[in-house]
């Protein structure tokens, strides 16, 4: 697919839950293959330097590598640390007493292939009512790594060990802190900007038009996270069910972009989801302006 010049969707195919990240001058997007659940047995990623031409990297990890995953891999979170690349993922639709949850894999290259680090889930248990899925890993200003995760309407926060092989206690001795904001469903994301912590999440039903993204602003990565408003939602002229997003920032201009999935107009299958990018703007008070979804993507590309 090299040489393709799309707008939105960014690249062909049904892909959802996109995690965008910038490595050097290259944008990588790690999405879920949006297929029937038991067919989501592998992941691809995509890279670009201009948000116009994308290179597809296939099968960066699969259930052949993750032996404890019986049916599905989805909703990755990624980061680089000490010249190694880490991919956190959800696997299996885990319930109490079952094996599944959040795993972690590692590679020497951002495009993989990734190897399962633990041979088991990093988090398997149901804690505070949160299914262990939809993880996002956040590096705070002091170098601490926190992971926000959770489905079933509950969001937990944990602190990761430096080697990402375990979770470690907070100063008060606890391992899990529930940080669920009002109307939270799943898909948490954190951004630190100008000393403020912008916590974002998806609400509604991912198969329906009600799916959307909301946010809160706090002075600490621990919250409290009081809902401010909705920043991404269905547009009957462009697409519906927009959500499960991430954000990237241009190292050249500082501009922010939201990476998300939506249902194309006329879609009747909940799995019919495509990955898109649009610019994300803040007002003079630091609040996030509602995103205007487009078919063209950011007018100036990645600048």
* 29's tokens: 């997007």
Write out the two tokens for 123.
Answer: 């988090």
Q: Which positions are annotated as active-site residues? A: 17, 186
> Is there a contact between 220 and 157 (Cβ–Cβ < 8 Å)?
no
d(CA 97, CA 61): 26
Of 33, 113, 115, which is closest to residue 76 (Cα–Cα)? Answer: 33
Q: Which residues of 39-78 are buried (b: 16+ CB within 10 A; e: fewer)?
A: ebbbbbbbbbeebebbbebeebbebebbebbeebbbbbbb
Is 119 buried (19+), middle (13-18) or exposed (0-12) by CB count in 10 A? exposed
Give the number of other Cβ atoms within 10 Å of residue 118's Cβ. Answer: 14
């Amino acid at each position: 697919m090299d040489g393709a010049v799309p707008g939105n969707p960014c690249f062909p195919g049904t892909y959802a839950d996109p995690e965008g990240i910038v490595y050097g001058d290259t944008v990588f997007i790690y999405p879920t293959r949006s297929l029937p659940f038991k067919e989501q047995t592998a992941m691809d990623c995509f890279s670009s330097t201009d948000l116009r031409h994308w290179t597809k990297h296939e099968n960066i990890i699969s259930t052949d590598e993750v032996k404890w995953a019986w049916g599905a891999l989805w909703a990755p979170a990624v980061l680089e640390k000490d010249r190694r690349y880490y991919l956190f993922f959800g696997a299996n639709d885990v319930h109490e007493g079952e094996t599944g949850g959040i795993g972690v894999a590692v590679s020497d290259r951002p495009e993989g292939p990734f190897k399962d680090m633990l041979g088991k889930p990093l988090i398997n248990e149901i804690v505070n009512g949160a299914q262990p899925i939809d993880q996002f890993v956040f590096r705070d200003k002091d170098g601490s790594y926190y992971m926000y995760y959770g489905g079933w309407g509950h969001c937990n926060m944990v602190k990761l060990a430096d080697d990402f092989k375990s979770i470690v206690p907070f100063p008060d001795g606890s391992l899990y802190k529930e940080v669920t904001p009002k109307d939270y469903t799943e898909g948490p994301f954190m951004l630190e900007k100008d000393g403020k912590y912008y916590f974002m999440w998806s609400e509604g039903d991912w198969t329906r038009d009600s799916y959307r993204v909301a946010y809160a602003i706090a002075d600490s990565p621990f919250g409290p996270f009081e809902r401010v408003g909705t920043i991404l939602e269905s547009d009957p002229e462009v697409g519906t069910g927009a959500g499960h997003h991430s954000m990237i920032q241009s190292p050249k201009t500082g501009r922010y972009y939201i990476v998300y999935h939506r249902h194309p107009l006329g879609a009747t299958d909940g799995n019919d989801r495509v990955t898109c990018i649009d610019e994300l703007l803040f007002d003079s008070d630091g609040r996030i302006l509602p995103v205007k979804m487009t078919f063209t993507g950011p007018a100036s590309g990645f600048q």
